[in-house]
């Protein structure tokens, strides 16, 4: 990759890593399910008025929008609201790559490579390290929700692989129309109309800024640039920069939120990032080149 494009890839990783700190700020102003719903409303409007809808059936869009919006973001926001540290959340969610590989076996008929199996064992050893560490007085349920959120992201990746959108930016704009209504319904049921109305009428500038960051900078700008890079380089060349997301997530959480980075956290980070990297290795073959699979979602937003 050209140096300028490397810089863009690193910038995207920084935007997505810092995003977890921004989510933490937003959760101080809005209930988690309402916050997730507004995130997709803001990402869709007004962009949907100017971006042509991809020639993809709504059913395919729902197979991405529901697990991504309601599953991943709904559970992630609830988990962080319950006390999951932002830095560790940015790390745990990277296991989505391994969940994707596991789900691809029964759903796409793909074969699990030895490197992927080894990567899973290494990465989930890191997950176990976090679980043991949090089990000593930490938010275990919040941690479990974040792991399940990573699994839901894996399901969304499978839906993306099946949809094969030609334009990632346009696809994400239109997919953002899917999650708001289910999330708003869940928010009214579990968070209550009074809490939602109070949050909307008393939202702070920090809450509005957080909403703008995750909807526009993290989603539209991040995905737009990520898709632009994927159209110019092999997916593997671009995807490797996703491993920088936990670095920016954990360091920004430590600097801005004062989160401690413990020895178990460092060990877990090394195992998870190393496992994801190992599982991403591909054996070079002299066979005829095939198009890159366009369906792997970018790292967490």
| pLDDT tens column, 52-80 | 999 999 999 999 999 999 999 999 999 99
CA distance 61 to 165: 10
- Give the pLDDT of residue 283: 56
pLDDT in tens, 144-157: 999 999 999 999 98
Judge whether 298 lies within some domain.
no
Residue pair 257/24 in contact by the 8 Å Cβ criterion: yes
pTM equals: 0.89
- Cis peptide bond upstream of 46, omega within 30: yes
pLDDT at 288 over 60: no
- Give the pLDDT of residue 297: 53
Judge whether 286 lies within some domain.
no
Judge whether 299 lies within some domain.
no
pLDDT in tens, 75-127: 999 999 999 999 999 999 988 888 888 899 999 898 888 888 898 899 999 99
Judge whether 287 lies within some domain.
no
pLDDT in tens, 194-217: 999 999 999 999 999 999 999 999
Judge whether 291 lies within some domain.
no
Judge whether 292 lies within some domain.
no
pLDDT at 245 over 80: yes
Judge whether 37 lies within some domain.
yes
How does the average pLDDT of the chain come out, rounded?
88
Question: Total structural domains in the chain?
Answer: 1
Tokens of 279: 């599982």
Assign 3-class secondary structure to the chain: CCHHHHHHHHHHHHHHHHHHHHHHHHHCCCCHHHHHHHHHHHHHCCHHHCCCCCCCCHHHHHHHHHHHHHHHHHHHHHHHHCCCCHHHHHHHHHHHHHHHHHHHHHHHCCCCCHHHHHHHHHHHHHHHHHHHHHCCCCCHHHHHHHHHHHHHHHHHHHHHHHHCCCCHHHHHHHHCCCCHHHHHHHHHHHCCHHHHHHHHHCCCHHHHHHHHHHHHHHHHHHHHHHHHHHCCCCHHHHHHHHHHHHHHHHHHHHHHHCCCCCHHHHHHHHHHHHHHHHHHCCCCCCCCCCCCCCCCCCCCC
Judge whether 253 lies within some domain.
yes
Can you give the residue range of the structural domain that contains 178?
3-280
């Amino acid at each position: 990759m050209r140096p300028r494009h490397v810089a863009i890839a690193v910038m995207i990783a920084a935007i997505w890593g810092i995003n977890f700190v921004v989510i933490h700020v937003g959760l101080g102003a809005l209930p988690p399910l309402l916050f997730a719903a507004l995130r997709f409303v803001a990402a869709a409007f007004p962009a949907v008025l100017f971006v042509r809808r991809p020639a993809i059936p709504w059913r395919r869009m729902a197979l991405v929008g529901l697990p991504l919006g309601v599953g991943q973001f709904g559970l992630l926001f609830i988990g962080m609201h319950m006390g999951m540290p932002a830095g560790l959340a940015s790390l745990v969610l990277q296991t989505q790559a391994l969940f994707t590989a596991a789900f691809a076996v029964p759903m796409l008929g793909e074969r699990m490579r030895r490197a992927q199996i080894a990567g899973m064992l290494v990465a989930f050893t890191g997950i176990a390290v976090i679980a043991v560490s949090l089990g000593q007085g930490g938010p275990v349920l919040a941690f479990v929700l974040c792991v399940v959120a990573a699994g839901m992201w894996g399901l969304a990746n499978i839906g993306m692989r099946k949809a094969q959108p030609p334009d990632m930016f346009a696809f994400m704009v239109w997919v953002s129309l899917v999650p708001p209504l289910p999330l708003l319904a869940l928010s009214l049921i579990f968070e209550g109309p009074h809490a939602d109305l109070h949050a909307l009428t008393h939202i702070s500038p920090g809450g509005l800024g957080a909403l703008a960051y995750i909807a526009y900078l993290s989603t539209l700008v991040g995905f737009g640039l990520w898709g632009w890079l994927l159209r110019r380089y092999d997916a593997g060349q671009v995807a490797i920069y996703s491993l920088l997301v936990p670095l920016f997530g954990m360091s920004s959480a430590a600097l801005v939120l004062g989160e401690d980075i413990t020895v178990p956290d460092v060990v877990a980070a090394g195992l998870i990032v190393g496992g994801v990297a190992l599982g991403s290795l591909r054996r070079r073959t002299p066979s005829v080149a095939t198009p890159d699979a366009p369906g792997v979602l970018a790292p967490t937003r």
